Structure 1
């Protein structure tokens, strides 16, 4: 949970709701993150020496005759760089680009307080990992001139960085046509979010009850109810749960995939204009399905009270038939770690299946989709072009094949060796500085990386299971409809409408007794309608001016 607590305080650039944002953060950290699981190979296998499948042009010469000290602020970076003189990974990176990273750290609990104090006192570090470009604090910094522009004439020299900056979702972060930060990459492409929403189900229970793989909402509902009502564990007690969740926001944004608002929390086209999805007509279908799951006993009666991870605990103890969670191999590995603490007839990998969810009313199967980066690294306005260039060289190194190799396998000759174009791990890598590089585009192999590497620390069945699901989703499921340009519109009213308590209103409707559609309309009628209507008008006006369709 330590890494989860860190990331839960950072805002990321995806195009879903605030709830989706926090869910996405948790999706990639804590128990079973793909990064954590795949980046520490054991010494038991060999893999191809060129594992990355999203290779860009090889990095140019990144060294410089002039050395720069760069102050870097991120969560616990002072701890990550505490043993700089002993950290060979850190030394290799610093030597490659001729810099020294000077930590300016803060704890997860003090991030907002400390960063705002630095800003007010003129003590922002040269480079700072903080919120998204169109977040309220960063927008204020831009207006006040506290953070500087990242000009194309500098970043375009570096092919990997230039490719990232020109991706649609990063282009959407521009403010008045300019970049005021460097995206901190977490995925190689938006498609890699596909496994961030789904269900882990007890396949052995499905077989026992004669349940075929569900496709529609009604089929999923029937399966969840059977898990809750038909004694699948055979103990002659009414003590099983049909469906629960590992994180409430993940459930809320998984149900959306099979509803009339698959981009819940984002902006969608409705009646020829851009509409905030929470206020759209499609919410009627969404709240009806959510209520039905709860009212008919398919959904854990305590779903709204669960703390993060408690649903996984229930599943691991054999109490639950279906767990809503990320269905990546790393997430499965984290769940298995819990499962193995309790007695079971079979290993988890032989007891489960993973499912994507049901088709939407338009008969399409949708998959989760979002920006390829979490948050933004800002550069202090006091940094001149020469020092900024050193920062850009650091980013380019981290995105290069050499950087990927370092972050995934460690140092050649110490942590791995190459034999016949194969990487042979020698030991598990354990450098404290990885905690700093994580916030500087230290991206692991991901779902498109070598299966052999991923299987070093994750059960092979999980790797194969997730890989097959990923391939199936990319082939058969549509990404949720996102317009990165609209999502990236920077306006006060757009930001304000996102802060209304939509999630609280939703839970009241799900737990209620009256007609869910009518209750939803009554709930949102309590919000400031002027804020909602003015935000919709403003977004459409800006979109029209910018030629966004």
Structure 2
């Protein structure tokens, strides 16, 4: 049987076509990060995230370095908007409601409410088409943990999903000054004794401040199931939803912080101040604040505070049900280019150069290689004068591909993976509460809680008087309806596991 010979021009065409197919396949295998934008007009996006420290002065310089990579890889440039954490939620509410340009948003503080208002883009199709690198980095289990009613609206960031609750960050120079042995600080009673010593000797120094709205954000042994309006007590041991505000645990917590306030450890302006805690430590006006423990936390907080800090943990390490989905990266419906937004997120989850730029800034300017496989400040640069000292790898899409800051063990990211594995885990791990059916009640309950939260949970008022008053209003606002709906959804979720 004779073979028909192809003309030379046909052979050449076939070779070109096959080369193009092979290149496309390689791009797909690499997570879709090859230069799909080559030869096309560059798409401009806006990306927002909060900071718990000062906003970097040289953010534009770092932004341009990142854009050099993303323009080449996917034809995208991004404007980074890094916003003070105290103002972040309100600013996102305004941007989302006004339809302002917003393409990629950290979901910290915003995820539940933005979903409830229909302001987030569904991500399943976008992830499949433009986020293969994300799928490989996260794995299906973590991706599925952020679904709401089976639909994906946010992507979890790779970080410490567990938290060492009941932790406090304290200035080492003050501890050393009064010869306080840090090895003896283990319980919340020990912490109170330290506060007493510091307050008596440094009366003009604020002894302790909450790092968020109240100390309860990080001092907890319950699973809040998203909003604390119906919780699982005792580290989420049982799938029984109860009213936190009528529990003995909550009453004991209120008595604790009330004592601190009456003793003068907490400042009188605790309910009105908006300045983040680490700049206050850096300025020399604050001794301690509450936080959560994790591998490398002392170095992280020391970098942010500009002085060596000691961390003590008084409660157990715990992974609540919503821990994986507590700070996801989202694409708001404001975005006119959700496909490019997903491509950019894919680049962040998979590209080490992009992650290190966002995490630490520009090599040589903001950090240099140190001994033992770590990085640190260049000569003459420190946390106080650095032009880019974000120090928030835990908020970024994938901290596990960033370099390790000096003072940490080179194995910190592997240690963090093990920390996640060994912590207590809520029986509701992976459950996400859908607010839709009780949106009205949640708004009413939230309004009541906002009225009392800061004054009660920071010790400003007498809990014996104000807690019954708050509970009466919460009952009238419909908290029991929310609890019943949470229990119903939780039971349904558990039956399908």
TM-score by length of 2: 0.63
Query: Could you tell me how far 1:532 is from its partner in structure 2?
Result: 0.3
Answer whether contact 1:200 1:354 (CA < 8 A) is retained: yes
C-alpha distance in 2 between matches for 1:410 and 1:242: 32
Residue pairs, 1:87-166, within 5 angstroms: 87=64, 89-97=66-74, 99-101=75-77, 112-118=93-99, 127-129=103-105, 135-141=112-118, 148-152=121-125, 155=128, 158-163=131-136, 166=139
Query: Judging changes above 3 Å, is the alpha-carbon distance between structure 1 residues 537 and 543 closer, same or farther for their aligned structure 2 residues?
Result: same
Matched, 1:208 2:159: no
Which residue in the other structure is 2:355 paired with?
404
Answer whether contact 1:69 1:102 (CA < 8 A) is retained: no
Which residue in the other structure is 1:63 paired with?
35
Answer whether contact 2:105 2:329 (CA < 8 A) is retained: yes
Answer whether contact 1:158 1:393 (CA < 8 A) is retained: yes
Q: Which SS does the other structure have where 1:546 is aligned?
A: helix
2:155 counterpart (183, 188, 191): 183
Which residue in the other structure is 2:476 paired with?
529
Which residue in the other structure is 1:283 paired with?
250
Which residue in the other structure is 2:385 paired with?
none
Q: Which SS does the other structure have where 1:72 is aligned?
A: strand
Query: Could you tell me how far 1:105 is from its partner in structure 2?
Result: 8.5
Query: Judging changes above 3 Å, is the alpha-carbon distance between structure 1 residues 206 and 253 closer, same or farther for their aligned structure 2 residues?
Result: farther
C-alpha distance in 1 between matches for 2:277 and 2:240: 39
* Root-mean-square deviation (Å): 5.4
Which residue in the other structure is 1:247 paired with?
211
Which residue in the other structure is 1:26 paired with?
none
Query: Judging changes above 3 Å, is the alpha-carbon distance between structure 1 residues 325 and 405 closer, same or farther for their aligned structure 2 residues?
Result: closer
C-alpha distance in 1 between matches for 2:363 and 2:58: 21
C-alpha distance in 1 between matches for 2:195 and 2:81: 46
Which residue in the other structure is 2:231 paired with?
268
Q: Which SS does the other structure have where 1:355 is aligned?
A: strand
Query: Could you tell me how far 1:93 is from its partner in structure 2?
Result: 1.2
| 1:300-321 residue CA offsets vs partner (Å, 9 max, x unmatched) | 3526246244765775676765
Residue pairs, 1:355-504, within 5 angstroms: 355-356=312-313, 358-359=314-315, 364=316, 370-371=323-324, 374-378=327-331, 380=333, 389-402=339-352, 403-404=354-355, 407=358, 443=397, 445=399, 450-451=403-404, 454-455=405-406, 460=407, 463=408, 474=419, 478=423, 481=426, 483-493=428-438, 495-496=442-443, 499-502=446-449, 504=451
Answer whether contact 2:199 2:205 (CA < 8 A) is retained: yes
| 1:274-312 residue CA offsets vs partner (Å, 9 max, x unmatched) | 2353454531222222223333x1623526246244765
Answer whether contact 2:209 2:267 (CA < 8 A) is retained: no
The answer to which structure, 1 or 2, has the higher relative contact order (CA under 8 A, 6+ apart) is 1
2:310 counterpart (325, 348, 353): 353
| 1:475-510 residue CA offsets vs partner (Å, 9 max, x unmatched) | 999457483544443334264366233354245443
Which residue in the other structure is 1:53 paired with?
none
C-alpha distance in 2 between matches for 1:464 and 1:530: 49
Matched, 1:300 2:266: yes
Q: Which SS does the other structure have where 1:501 is aligned?
A: helix
Answer whether contact 1:155 1:161 (CA < 8 A) is retained: no
C-alpha distance in 2 between matches for 1:217 and 1:287: 13
Which residue in the other structure is 2:452 paired with?
505
Which residue in the other structure is 2:168 paired with?
198
Rg (Cα) greater in structure: 2
Structure 1 alignment gaps of length 5 or more: 1-56, 119-123, 234-238, 337-347, 429-433
C-alpha distance in 2 between matches for 1:211 and 1:427: 31
Query: Could you tell me how far 1:534 is from its partner in structure 2?
Result: 0.7
Answer whether contact 2:298 2:311 (CA < 8 A) is retained: no
Which residue in the other structure is 1:546 paired with?
493
Query: Judging changes above 3 Å, is the alpha-carbon distance between structure 1 residues 493 and 280 closer, same or farther for their aligned structure 2 residues?
Result: farther
C-alpha distance in 1 between matches for 2:181 and 2:368: 50
Matched, 1:72 2:45: yes
Answer whether contact 2:71 2:77 (CA < 8 A) is retained: yes
Query: Judging changes above 3 Å, is the alpha-carbon distance between structure 1 residues 261 and 503 closer, same or farther for their aligned structure 2 residues?
Result: farther
Query: Could you tell me how far 1:353 is from its partner in structure 2?
Result: 2.7
Query: Could you tell me how far 1:535 is from its partner in structure 2?
Result: 0.7
C-alpha distance in 2 between matches for 1:112 and 1:354: 34
